[in-house]
Structure 1
Amino acid sequence: MKRSLKRRITLVLTSLVSLAVCVTAVLTYGVYLHVEKKMVRDLIDTESKRLVPRVSRFGDEWTSALERDMAPSMYVWGESPKVRAASLPDELRGLSIGLHELPRAESTWHVAVVKARDGLLYVVYDTVVLDKQRQDFTRALLAIVLGCSIFAMLLSGTVARWLVMPLNALTGRLTRWVPNSVAVDSPHANEADRLMEVFNRVQDQVDAAIADQREFSANLHHEIRTALTVIRSDAELMLRYSTMGLEQRRPRLERIVKSVNEIGQSLESTFSLAHARFEDKARVDIHACVEDIFESQSMEAHKAGLEFVNAVQPGHEETISRQALMTVMRNIVRNAVLHAAPARLTVSSIGHGLRFADSGPGIAPSELPHVFDRYFSNRRADQRQHEQREPGAAADMNQAGIGLAIAKRVCIMQSWTLDVASPASDGGGTCFTLFFGQEA
């Protein structure tokens, strides 16, 4: 039962055809034996009835014994108690009138004993020639059975491939839907098991995606409600205390603007991830893409004090989705602007991938496993509210805390690998490594 469906179908079809041919051969052989036996019995019976009138024309008594070869393997003897045939075998004299079969060493004698004149007439047919023909016929039947079995095995293999083709096509399609899974490529694996395994992986991915989206929506709902609560509370305070001076209103207005920006950034990032398809794969100039990202982030980077260095090799190209690459790089660079500045961010080429290394303060070992968690930067900021921040510092910039989560999610969708290491060098800095594939 652990064999592949193709091998099982081939085995079953071959067995059925071979069984049918064997049964046909056995029945044919049995019919052949029956027809042969009946033919010989009819032959000697007819020949004995034909000879009796002929020998009776010369009188009613045997005056001399009859000893004659009638045909190949057929012999005739006629005698009476007074006149004996010298060549008549002794085992024939004890036979009664009628048809008889006498097994011999290498053949069988078919004997017809009839009354003729005043004695008996013996007609004998020796099957030695028929036995040789029967052996040839048996070998021919065996050759037919063997040939049909081989032909059935070859034809069954073709039929089996045709029958399991839709199943393999479905398995292949599901495998392409879950590129992170490792397909069972063994040609002897059970196709049903392969399909079930891939289907389970698809189901696991769907369940994980549903749970992931629920968590995503819940976190987004929480973050938006938090920002809206801040906006409402500050607005109500300013309305209630209408005599509040400009210097007293300014911090609340700045907090309202920051909350609105956080809501907008969260909604924009969520929308871009939810509606991205990333199916337009083509040859992409990586160096040009990095330049485009640096140009789009140059204003924020300049304010934060982050210097860009494009060390990607000219001519570095990959067959990937440009939109997916730009989404991942945009979020990685934005993260460096928010958390690494003032520092230097260097993007360089590696084998089928990119390395983003900054000279910032790095990430604490306790926080490194949670870098790709949604809203982790916000939770980390909440835990550090007691820390003093300088005006204009990166930590005070607009941040939704889902940038790296979006980058990681896009990489999963594209079967890419995104890793992080910190410290990167000299006890500081952070290095993000992006591979355009499952492995480095």
Structure 2
Amino acid sequence: MTSRRTLLSPLGIRLAAAFVVVAVAGLFVLAALTIVGARSGVSELVADVHHEDATAAAAAAAVAFEEADGWSDADLSNVVAIAARGQATLSIRDEDGRLVSASSDELAEMMLRMHGVQLTDVPRSDPVTAPVTVDGVEVGLIELRFPESHLPGPERQVRDVLLRNVFLGVLLAALVAIAVSVFVARRVARPIAALTDAVQGVGARQPGVRVEVPDAPGELRTLANTFNDMAAAIEHEDQLRRRLVADVAHELRTPLTILRGTTESLVDGVADPDDSTLGSLHEEVLRLSHLVDDLHTLASADAAALHVRRRPTDLASVVAAVADLAVGAADAAEISIATELDPAAATTDPERVTQIVSTLVGNALVYTPSGGTITLRTYSEAGQATIRVSDTGPGIDPDDLPHVFERFYRGRNAQGVGSGTGLAVAHELAAALDGSIEVSNGASGGASFLVRLPAGDTLP
């Protein structure tokens, strides 16, 4: 199943919008800090320039004072020119604080006009002062008042370029943030939308629902693969359940048909209730009981209702008891049972072990041909107590080997007996005993089941 071919789903739009808002907010904060910093830096630069102008004007006034030997005949044109260059008004005071010259003088007005400055009534900043010193003696004071909104040409250019670059940078970064946000949101939202569609498909019992998002980010791709595995497992379990219904119906039909026919014959007086008839009825009842017991054990394992009573156990004695019980059935089928029982101490539940071995031996009796042999072995190995049940039958089809312990699974060579729960029950029991069970085909043919259980310290 693939996601809908749209640029952005509603989730993608929300993700992209969130990314863009965060990115643009960050850009505006950065731009604001840059502008504030730029203004502060330019203001400091302008203050330095104004101070330099005041110092230069004071130096020019000192030269004029020294040449004229006083303020009355001093040529202050150079001082006025320096003030006019900065579009500042000029005030010169002598050492007693009396006004010596100001920008309203005709000379000052002329110099200001020469520099393109009109002495208009504009707001001006606080005066920038510098002492006029001649031979180490302060003879006056220079005061310059610059327009509050005035910036010198170079400083104005620096500010304008900086502000323009900031706004262009914010605009470009916002466009990049939008493009990246759409790309990222699409990569994140498409797999989620595909997973949503797939989950709805599974909920609607649509077969073969899968998610294909190879370009998804790592975690979402892993999630999609996990979902695909889950969907495949659900389909497989559904197939097994369907097969179970058919198998159980088949298994129930035969004994129920026999029971119905026999009981009707007994009721109608057609058949006599002799030992043979009653024995046949008893066998069918046992067959039904065995099927119900398997299903109940499997359900108990599912519900974690298996009660395990562990105690020191010699697996050799447990397996020997199972072998003794199977001798009658083996002899009837002309099958030999061989045992190689070395002591194998385990701390386990002997009743559950008996159930596991009985299932394996019963399975071997079904598939081992007349004249064959079933071999039971017990031994200790690598800190584990081990049981091996092998036979000389046809073995298990390689395609069936990975599935023999699955619930309700019946292989290709199934001989029409059982419901496919026996080996699944054995597997569940082994797991409940903290052990494991494996299956393989022997080198010379036949199936071989290996049961490993935690070893015990001593034999009982």
TM-score normalised according to structure 1 size: 0.49
TM-score normalised according to structure 2 size: 0.47
